[in-house]
Amino acid sequence: MGNPKHTEVSVARQSPQRPDADEPELDDTTGAAQPDETEETDRPSASIDRSLWDELRIDPVEIALPAGTGFTLRAYRPASSLTPTDVTERDQDDPFLARRQAVEEEEDDETVVILDEELAQEFAAEDDDEDATRRRRDGAAADTDTDTEEDSDEAVADEENDEEVPVFLSHQGKLLLFKTPESLVSFIRSGAPNDLSQLDSWNELSERVEPADIAPLDEDTYELDLVVENLRGGHDTWDSTLLIEAGEVARDLSYALRLPAVLDMLSAGSSLDDLDEALRATANGGIGAFMGRRRLKKIGAQTASLGWRTIVGKISAVVDWRD
């Protein structure tokens, strides 16, 4: 992820032009003007050491939700090297989800009723004859294409397994969010079970991390608590960077925490994906920005805000807040 922070724009302070470079500028009481120590100390440090995170390929993340703001960790690794989070216990605790899964399983089950044994044998024989005829007719073509199709399937599977996917500091399908850097570091050092502990760099992180290291970059800070309100304001007030970053972290969370409903809502071709594409076009400038603004006007503010309210609600429901 490499998007700039959406709401904060840093403007470099410019020193006032001095009439003579050889003469110091004086104030009314003390002579030479002194730098504003208050403003300097309030300014965040620009020299935060990122070597730990770059070396271990894990990043601190800050996420704001309606219930509060918390810190967590995120990494990207090949899908083949990760064991997905176990959502069995989480889903059992959700009676609505459990009920829906039971209905889906019943609908998927095929029910075969045998009325007569001889009739069933007759049907089976007819099926065998049809299968044999079809095999003879298509045998040559099937033999020719089999190797190519298998090679293609294997190549696709290998590519999917090698694709880097997100994994968060989570456990049993719950995202672990910490109110302070100190509480996050305390958990990392505790040895408590979590989904990041499967990474080969986890042990080293637990030995080296300090509270001062928990300083997320702007592109790793997400304000999901502002999304719905921003969308309700209408097209003219939509903050493209806020909404684009929200979409990115929502996709990461829904994949890592196994939230298929959220993935579907943000999948290619969905109304929220159309919103995301139009916002990206406007942010990129040029003729694409003009077309993006036209597309945005066709997207209903109410529909977008309702969709995002659902997404934020589903993510909030799988957060385990830690103090």
pLDDT, tens only, 207-250: 999 999 999 999 999 999 999 999 999 888 999 999 999 999 99
Residue 280 near residue 35, CB atoms below 8 Å: no
The contacts of residue 213 (CB under 8 Å, 6+ apart) are 49, 52, 53, 60, 181, 185
Q: What is the mean pLDDT of residues 104-133?
A: 53
Burial of 64 (0-12, 13-18, 19+ CB in 10 A): middle
Listed residue (243, 225, 250) closest to 315, CA to CA: 250
Report how far residue 244's alpha carbon sits from residue 247's, in angstroms, rounded to the nearest whole number. Answer: 5
Instruction: State yes or no: pLDDT of 23 exceeds 50.
Output: no
- pLDDT for residue 55 is more than 90: yes
* Ramachandran bin of 173, using left for φ above 0, alpha for ψ from -120 to 50, beta for the remaining angles: left
**Helices (DSSP H) in 163-265: which residue ranges?**
181-190, 202-208, 227-232, 240-256, 260-265
Q: Which two tokens stand for residue 285?
A: 């400038």
Closest by Cα among 53, 72, 71, 82 to 199: 82
pLDDT at residue 163 is higher than 80: yes
DSSP state of 219: G
Residue 144 pLDDT: 52
- What is the crossing angle of helices 240-256 and 301-317, to 10°? 40
What does the pLDDT average to over 21-41? 44
What's the pLDDT at 86? Answer: 96
Residue 16 has pLDDT above 50, yes or no: no
Q: Which helix (H) or strand (E) holds 316?
A: helix 301-317
Does pTM surpass 0.85? no
Per-residue pLDDT at 43: 39
* Residue 122 pLDDT greater than 60, yes or no: no
Question: pLDDT tens digits, residue range 244-290?
Answer: 999 999 999 999 999 999 999 999 999 999 999 999 988 877 667 77
Q: Quote the percentage of the chain above a pLDDT of 90.
A: 55
The whole-chain average pLDDT of the chain stands at 78
Residue 159's pLDDT is 60
- Strands 221-223 and 164-168 come out as unpaired
